[in-house]
Structure 1
């Protein structure tokens, strides 16, 4: 019976190894030596890059081709090893896995059969710690080596190992020697400390060979691992540590004879190239290509298995290069831009990956999608090709020249117009006001750069298109202005650029000043923000009369429970929004009442887990407080407002305070910190302004500097305001109605539309004038520098003529 030694009953067992074609000779020596000492046993040799590997493993061909696209050489073999073990356990009770560079010198079936009882059996790589003698190796990667026996109980471990190996980034040059570490504490692993097992260069100092046949400490040498042995350099035991080896062949005659005999058995087989080392067109399948494909494959799978994932991924795994189309789809995938930002710079997916993999390129070309795009393209077409990193079909191309704007009056509104975040909502508010003003408009939607931080499924404007007017309104903050212009170069080239910026602290940080060079003027949503930005701005800064649309009043009838509401985004920083302050005030106001309720409607928590956990800790197990962590439809949001009696915002600062204004427009009384921009439209007649003191921002709340200042609201005063709402609902409704009347009267769409029509018309006139004028006059300092350089240049010309 296959797998059973003659005359001995017991579990059916077999041995195996996984090897790539370039190491086939070593694997054949292993197979022959194993069979010689284990007659009647099966030995399975899987050639990882062979023609039948997919069928031998029972893999779907596409699954196999994806694996060989990602992994190569010993790395590929390591990925396939647990798959082979699992497949063989369908036929055998116990399967032994051996490294391909092993030669067997004595049977070890007694050891391998222990796997029938223990599930997993491994051999100790060392019997004692390595000496600290300055010789190599100084450390052994892993406590076990060269040998693994797996029984039926090992299947959960093999599944775990297979997943780990498959997810590992494909840039390693050797197998994962630490595989047994995956078993520790999770799976039953029996360790054999037999000195004749797993003998190799890493433990020969403690396991001296003697005799013929060789023995170790009086025990037979079961097998020897020739890891790193090169038949072309037979004077070295291993090429892994040639400089300071702890054991030298010249001093070990038994070991030397063992290596010579192994060298003869290897023969003079010529190296065979990996079958999957190149694409069907002959282009090398490089490490950046493999990494790109591996990341895309795993990212797609994660998105498919993660409900509600916001990651921007393809609907399916990218095409592998070994299908029926001779790799055309794979090459096209590598040669296309990965994002609109890359497309605008003419950057291919592969060129971007090469840049990302090289620190030196990032230092020389820090902005390959912007101001350094031309230089990086030149590097790709020269050094990138010479180094074999970029085939001709994946070279970045110069993007088409910017489309010149028409002279007609109009505006390009650029930004996150379909995203569920504050910047997107402010952009939509301004866009609606511009539409009400009757100004011709093109909406330029940016989504890709959000990278899954917010949903982008809101309604797309009807006027979406490419920038065509001479004035562009960039509805992102200073730190995203360059990214927007790089993504949509037609929105900036030859246009008059207006930045719609907000800032929440009293001082505009130096880190944000680079944006001034990219715009011709700045709009802000509040006088508070205008004062902060204008103090540093070389361009005009103007305050928009932000309109607040009428959503209709809340038809809330008095009920048995008073509900408070706060809506915020963790991406706007929990420290500034201060939701835990709202919870603390609620607890102070109502330590033991059950006729009150607080709803915290939050988004962005998946990217701000520490802040979420801090909030959950403050909430505790209070059943009266609900943390609603998801995006709501318009109908759901309307229903939430309809069940609310008062809106609470104990923010530390706001650039405008859109949710406060929207709550007021719905007729809700507001409890809000009496600081920053909300004071420009909210006061005592509309709710309860909460006094505050100023404090340092402190660490952990970027982009705000730790030394910046913001408000600390008085939580006892906030608690008193909450009690006033709950105890006197009639007064709360009166203030809510006053708030609605005030904000709709002072923040009308008509006023905003008129303001924007006038400002855009002025910007258009300025732009038209710049088009008809000649080149701008040279700065006096530039002219003076040119005059000073004339003698230097003349001397240089004279010198060149003399030589």
Structure 2
């Protein structure tokens, strides 16, 4: 600016339509003392805003759907300043409830060179006298002078304000908090600037340049501010000059005031746009936009932006969006998106209706249809609906298989293994895919089965553990209603915890992948628990040529807990086995590390800078996984416990010898003839590894014995290959698909017959003649029992 003439300065403010009067008083007083300056008042909820700020109309309508009142003003203030900087050298932003009493152009001009100029809210610390206010931030947030160098700050402020959730219960948000030490700024300590209720004890009115009437209401002219209603430090009754200043300001505001209806407080059909609607819309919009133009870590793209209510359709799409279910579980239970948001926002509703998608859904539906409508929280068109009636099963033989059938995690893989055996058995099957209840970061990229459909058979196999059985039945009620239910459960400790026992009431029998898991669950179960012969598919004769480097492999999922899988034990055993050797290599193939950062960091610390150890943290294709197995000389699993140990079995069927903890499910198909069992001592689980109870017990493998086994593989490759061939032969003989298929068909047929018998018995009990006969016979039988006669 030096040498180019006086700075072009404009002032501005942002206000909602209902507060236009205070902005008019500000504008008039500012122009009176700065005749060469411009002044812009932006009415935040005015239809002209998109054109004035260069916003896309849809973008603006999303903003006014998410934000109202002071929140909307916060969002638009940095946008206005940034826009005006295209035409002026300095832009001064003032709160609308400010009145100017003297010029301060010298302060404004500083921004041309300094970039950001702000004013001090206090010149001295507040007195510790117990009076209000007790705390005031150091910079007044109702004044900002911005020059060209302020653009990075304005961009940052605009982004933060836009992402900030609509006002809930947190303290008033202040833009000076964003300055901190990141953006250079100049603080002016002038006693005539930023005068208000917070600093009147230290500011003489005789030096006043502008006064902020924050919290002053002309309707209650006896109060300086509604922000200090109990023990105000400054009282109007004690200062006639201050009282006259406030009353004069109130009269000017009253003269300018007009009755204005806020244009974006209602939907086009007249329905109030409630706080819950705004919060729900903002949260959904933010999530959708976060990944709209980039893939998330799993390669998926977020869905479409939610519709706003101020488009050409009169808000119909927005109302449909609020009234539709947000998930398959909500669809199955009739819960609307808005009703779910209202429940989530109200602690009292959560206490009275703890399960709005389950046991409490009828009560919550009635509350929405009565109190929800009366309180203006749930419009009639967004009241939860009655869930559709369950689809009646057919009489024919078959099974519905429900679970995480497309997810790359242990439960999903075991479900797919069982599905393949059922298909091999020739049993008709319908697949029910559940994905919604999974964490958004769990990969569900596998192709859905070809037989996905509506559950139509009388037997359902629920391939989720006890703690998720209720959820899958609520989400997909047709899998449970009137069906014989089989739970495919796994558990990895010797004791099945009481927290898991609720699932017993939801199933008719339980399948587990090992005798180890069966013993743990059966000790508490009121229903039969059966061990399935888990099949291990044969990938074909392995083609593997020994290389100069001996490669060890361990595959695991961090979601199955690092504590149980114990990858750091594998690394420590490797280090003990091969100090200084460069003819060995260890590959750790892991998934879901992004959900378990502490466990990943612990593993990386144990690995250190050992270039012989590779940690692969990505999903592999079938071809890539096959190549990884083909280059492996021994598989190492120093687990603390396994319900079955599928990766151990998959290594064995490929002819790979195994080094594994000699405990739990793996011992049922693995022994010294197939590799090197590692001895162990029992130890407490300890805290930090849910869902396993801290007082539970699991194995602590002997790492020195594991290291010795690893040296045996590296030093005697021929013996390792011999044990690998024995492992393959053993798995093919004992874990064939044919054996599993025969077992599945027989057990499913028995379940189907039990279901048919129960259905016939139920029909008989409901038949009017049978029911009448029972009513007649009941007193006769009671009399007979009294006489000692039995039948």
With normalisation by structure 2, the TM-score equals 0.94
| In structure 2, C-alpha distance between the alignment counterparts of 1:512 and 1:193, rounded to whole Å | 64
- Between the aligned partners of 1:114 and 1:687, the Cα distance in structure 2 is 79
Residue 212 of structure 1 corresponds to none
Residue of structure 2 aligned with 1:234, choices 221, 229, 253: 221
TM score, norm. by length of structure 1: 0.93
Q: Of residues 103, 120, 130 in structure 2, which corresponds to 1:124?
A: 120
Shift of residue 692, structure 1, vs aligned partner: 0.9
Task: Find the partner of 1:199 among 187, 195, 207.
Answer: 195
The CA distance in 1 between the partners of 2:59 and 2:441, in whole Å, is 31
Q: What are the equivalent positions in structure 2 for 1:639-650 lying under 5 Å apart?
A: 639-650=627-638
State whether structure 2 residue 451 is matched by structure 1 residue 455: no
Offset, 1:682:
0.7
Alpha-carbon distance between aligned partners in 2 of 1:311 and 1:25, rounded to the nearest angstrom: 52
Task: Find 2:135's aligned residue among 130, 134, 139.
Answer: 139
1:250 aligned partner: 237
Cα deviation code 1:454-497 (max 9, x no counterpart) = 21121211111111111110000000000000000011111111
Alpha-carbon separation, structure 1, partners of 2:242 and 2:607? 69
Gaps of 5+ in 2: 766-791
CA-CA distance at 1:513 after TM superposition: 0.6
Unmatched tracts of structure 1, length 5 or more: 210-214, 778-803
Give the C-alpha shift of residue 113 in structure 1.
1.8
Distance 1:173 1:510, change over 3 A: closer
Preserved CA contact (<8 Å) 2:120 2:138: no
Residue in structure 2 matched with residue 442 of structure 1 by the alignment: 430
Distance 1:116 1:554 in 2: 75
- Matched with 1:359 is 347
CA deviation profile, 1:518-554 (whole Å, cap 9, x unmatched): 1111110011111111111111111111010001233
**Aligned partners of 2:422 and 2:41: how far apart in 1?**
71
After TM superposition, the structure 1 stretch with the greater mean CA deviation from structure 2, 9-18 or 378-387, is 9-18
Matches of 1:500 and 1:390, distance apart in 2: 40
| Residue number among 84, 87, 91 corresponding to 2:80 in the alignment | 84
C-alpha contact 1:367 1:373 (8 A) present in aligned 2: yes
CA drift of 1:194 comes to 1.2
- Partner residue, 1:97: 93
The structure 2 residue matched to 1:153, chosen from 131, 149, 155, is: 149
State the alpha-carbon separation in 2 of the partners of residues 688 and 521 from structure 1.
36
- Separation in 1 of the partners of 2:764 and 2:407? 39
- Structure 1 residues 157, 716: CA separation in 2 closer, same or farther (over 3 Å shift)? same
Does the CA contact (< 8 Å) of 2:684 and 2:695 recur in 1?
yes
* 2:655 aligned residue: 667
Q: Secondary structure at the match of 2:452?
A: coil
Equivalent residue runs for 1:264-663 within 5 Å? 264-268=251-255, 269-304=257-292, 307-310=295-298, 314-663=302-651
SS in 1 for 2:673: helix
In the TM superposition, residue 275 of structure 1 has moved relative to its aligned partner by: 1.3
Whole-Å Cα distance in 2 between the matches of residues 756 and 567 of structure 1?
A: 28
SS of the aligned residue for 1:768 comes to helix
Aligned equivalents of 2:211, 2:587: Cα separation in 1 = 68
Matched residue, 2:783: none
What is the SS of the residue equivalent to 1:448? Answer: coil
Q: Give yes or no for contact 1:585–1:715 (8 Å, CA) kept in 2.
A: yes
**CA positional deviation for 1:11:** 2.2
For the 8 Å contact 1:496–1:763, the answer to whether it is kept is yes
SS of residue matched to 1:530: helix
Q: CA RMSD in A?
A: 1.9
Please give the secondary structure, in 2, of the residue aligned with 1:144: coil
Give, in angstroms, the shift of residue 9 of structure 1: 3.6
Out of 721, 727, 735, the position equivalent to 1:739 is 727
- Once residues 700 and 29 of structure 1 are traced to their aligned partners in structure 2, the CA distance between those partners, rounded to angstroms, is 61
Q: Is residue 703 from structure 1 mapped to residue 691 from structure 2 by the alignment?
A: yes
Contact map agreement 2:292 2:301 (CA 8 A) in 1: no
Shift of 1:286: 1.0
Q: Secondary structure at the match of 1:145?
A: coil
Inter-partner Cα distance in structure 2 for 1:49 and 1:317: 22
Match of 1:792 in 2: none
Runs of 4+ in structure 1 displaced over 6 angstroms?
none
- CA displacement 1:374-412 (0-9 Å, x = unmatched): 111111111111111111111110011111111111111
> Does residue 149 of structure 2 align to residue 168 of structure 1?
no
- Cα offset, 1:291, TM superposition: 1.2
CA drift at 1:176: 4.7
Q: Is the 8 Å Cα contact of residues 695 and 711 (structure 1) preserved in structure 2?
A: yes
Find the aligned partners of 1:120 and 1:651 in 2 and give their Cα distance.
Answer: 59
User: Closer, same or farther in 2 for the Cα pair 1:776/1:292, shift >3 Å?
Assistant: farther
CA contact (8 A) 1:73 1:274 kept: no
In the other structure, the counterpart of 1:114 is 110
Which residue is equivalent to 1:789?
none
Sort the Cα spacing of 1:11 and 1:595 in 2 relative to 1 into closer, same or farther, 3 A: farther
> CA separation in 1, counterparts of 2:707 and 2:147?
65
Do residues 35 (structure 1) and 31 (structure 2) align?
yes
Q: 496-505 or 166-175, which moves further after superposition? A: 166-175
Aligned equivalents of 1:145, 1:321: Cα separation in 2 = 32
Equivalents in 2 of 1:747, 1:174: separation in Å?
60
Match of residue 752 from structure 2: 764
Partner of residue 781, structure 1: none
Distance in 2, Cα, partners of 1:740 & 1:772:
47
Q: Distance in 1 between matches of 2:343 and 2:686?
A: 36
1:66 aligns with 2:57: no
What's the secondary structure of 1:507's corresponding residue?
coil
Shift of 1:208: 4.1
**1:472/1:498 contact within 8 Å kept:** yes
CA distance in 1, matches of 2:523, 2:497: 11
Q: Map of 1:181-220 to 2, 5 A cutoff?
A: 181-209=177-205, 215=206, 220=207
